[in-house]
């Protein structure tokens, strides 16, 4: 069996393409990287543990892709352009078939986003993957959770909720069968739900636009309602410091939330908004825009071929997420997580097994 050095040479070294001649990546005690002038470094890290953040039977390719994707998604939410990443990998054994597939998933996304692997650590133990990624943002331009204000529009990218359905299918739990085993779901739809869960596309294409126009941003990993809640929490801390009267709540109109065809189909059958509101794992972006910024953002997004939707707005309030349907405020059913069964709001980003 190959030793650790050979494994690194075979599987990780090829991912280090893209550094300049004066930079140093894998192979030394540390990486040496050039820092551009007038930029700030944004650093993010995320760990995925087998059986906690993904089902044990998840394909190695998907694990590799997702380990990087969730980090690039954090960079996108900050408005940063990905620069490089490192990988701390704990493996039960040096299974080369697994490693080849794992690094293929990692490499496909790394090449798509042109982000080189600059180093890491390889250890023996229960399967766990930690990626740390770095990105650059113009000085003072990083987008934070804390900038939302009254009247700002709340927006999301692409569509919401498919990953949560993917988790239902992937776990294939008995109690889920009632709402996911209907013949209405085509093979193609099921595959696309599971793809949304396992190979999320980080929305880095939006990063530049967020820096220019957004008042706040977050990526949707815990679920739409929870993550809008995080924007409220941080923004209200900021607003309270200036004026305790200025605090905000988020008002979201359910019919404005963009849904894939498969999700619309599911909603018809199951009448269950939970995957959309509390599902998590989508790695879409949620952000706020002032009225003035909205038309500029919209134009720029259209020109770039990027899809987003306004789903509501910030109103004066005490930090609640207010859900409305056809303009009517809904009762607390959707808002109170306690009233939902545990699995309904489990997201793998928090570790879905924790909810069992």
Q: Name the residue nearer to ligand ADP (CB basis): 134 or 216.
A: 134
14 makes contact with ligand ADP (CB under 6 A)? no
For residue 87, the minimal CB distance to ligand ADP (Å) is: 4
d(CA 204, CA 74): 9
Edge-to-edge order in the sheet of strand 128-138: 39-49, 128-138, 81-91, 117-124
d(CA 215, CA 41): 20
Q: Which residues contact 271 (CB under 8 A, 6 or more apart)?
A: none
d(CA 174, CA 315): 41
Of the ranges 26-34, 48-56, 94-102, 304-312, which one interacts with ligand ADP (CB under 6 A)? 26-34
92 makes contact with ligand ADP (CB under 6 A)? no
250 makes contact with ligand ADP (CB under 6 A)? no
Q: Name the residue nearer to ligand ADP (CB basis): 120 or 312.
A: 120
Instruction: Report the Cα–Cα distance between both ends of the chain, in Å, rounded.
Output: 38
27 binds, among ligand ADP, Mg ion, none (CB under 5 to 8 A by kind): ligand ADP
Q: Which 3 state secondary structure label does DSSP give 316? A: strand
Q: What is the CB neighbour count within 10 angstroms for residue 337?
A: 15
Q: What is the DSSP letter of 54?
A: B
12 makes contact with ligand ADP (CB under 6 A)? yes
Q: Name the residue nearer to Mg ion (CB basis): 29 or 57.
A: 29
Q: Pick one of 21, 29, 56, 243: the residue that binds Mg ion (CB under 5 A).
A: 29
Q: Pick one of 2, 6, 17, 27: the residue that binds ligand ADP (CB under 6 A).
A: 27
57 binds, among ligand ADP, Mg ion, none (CB under 5 to 8 A by kind): none
139 makes contact with Mg ion (CB under 5 A)? no
d(CA 206, CA 194): 24
Backbone angles phi, psi at 104, to 5 degrees: -65, -45
45 makes contact with ligand ADP (CB under 6 A)? no
Which residue spans within 177-226 are E strands per DSSP? 216-219
120 makes contact with ligand ADP (CB under 6 A)? yes
87 makes contact with ligand ADP (CB under 6 A)? yes
**What token pair was written down for 61?**
């390719």
104 makes contact with ligand ADP (CB under 6 A)? no
Interface residues with Mg ion (CB under 5 A)? 29
Interface residues with ligand ADP (CB under 6 A)? 8, 12, 26-29, 87, 89, 117, 119-122
């Amino acid at each position: 069996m190959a030793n650790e050095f050979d494994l690194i040479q075979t599987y990780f070294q090829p991912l280090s393409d893209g550094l300049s001649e004066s930079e140093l990546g894998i192979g030394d005690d540390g990486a040496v990287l050039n820092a551009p002038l007038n930029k700030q470094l944004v650093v993010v890290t995320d760990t995925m543990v087998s059986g906690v953040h993904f089902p044990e039977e998840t394909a190695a390719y998907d694990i590799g892709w997702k380990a990087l994707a969730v980090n690039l998604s954090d960079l996108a939410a900050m408005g940063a352009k990905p620069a490089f990443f490192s990988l701390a990998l704990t493996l039960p054994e040096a299974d080369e078939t697994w490693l080849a597939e794992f690094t293929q998933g990692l490499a496909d996304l790394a090449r798509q986003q042109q982000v080189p692997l600059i180093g890491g650590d390889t250890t023996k133990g229960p399967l766990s993957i930690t990626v740390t990624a770095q990105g650059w943002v113009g000085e003072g331009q990083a987008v934070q959770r804390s900038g939302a204000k009254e009247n700002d529009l709340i927006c999301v990218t692409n569509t919401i909720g498919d990953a949560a359905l993917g988790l239902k299918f992937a776990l294939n739990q008995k109690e889920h069968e009632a709402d996911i085993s209907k013949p209405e779901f085509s093979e193609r739809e099921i595959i696309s739900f599971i793809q949304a869960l396992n190979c999320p596309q980080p929305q880095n294409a939006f990063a530049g636009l967020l820096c220019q126009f957004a008042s706040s941003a977050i990526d949707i990993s815990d679920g739409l309602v929870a993550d809008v809640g995080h924007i409220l929490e941080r923004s209200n801390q900021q607003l309270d410091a200036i004026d305790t009267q200025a605090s905000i709540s988020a008002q979201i109109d359910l019919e404005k939330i963009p849904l894939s065809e498969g999700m619309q189909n599911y909603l018809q059958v199951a009448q269950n908004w939970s995957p959309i509101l509390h599902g998590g794992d989508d790695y879409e972006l949620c952000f706020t825009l002032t009225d003035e910024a909205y038309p500029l953002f919209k134009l720029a997004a259209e020109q770039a071929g990027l899809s987003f939707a306004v789903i509501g707005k910030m109103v004066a309030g005490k930090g609640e997420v207010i859900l409305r349907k056809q303009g009517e405020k809904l009762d607390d059913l959707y808002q109170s997580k306690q009233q939902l069964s545990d699995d309904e709001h489990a997201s793998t980003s928090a570790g879905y097994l924790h909810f069992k």
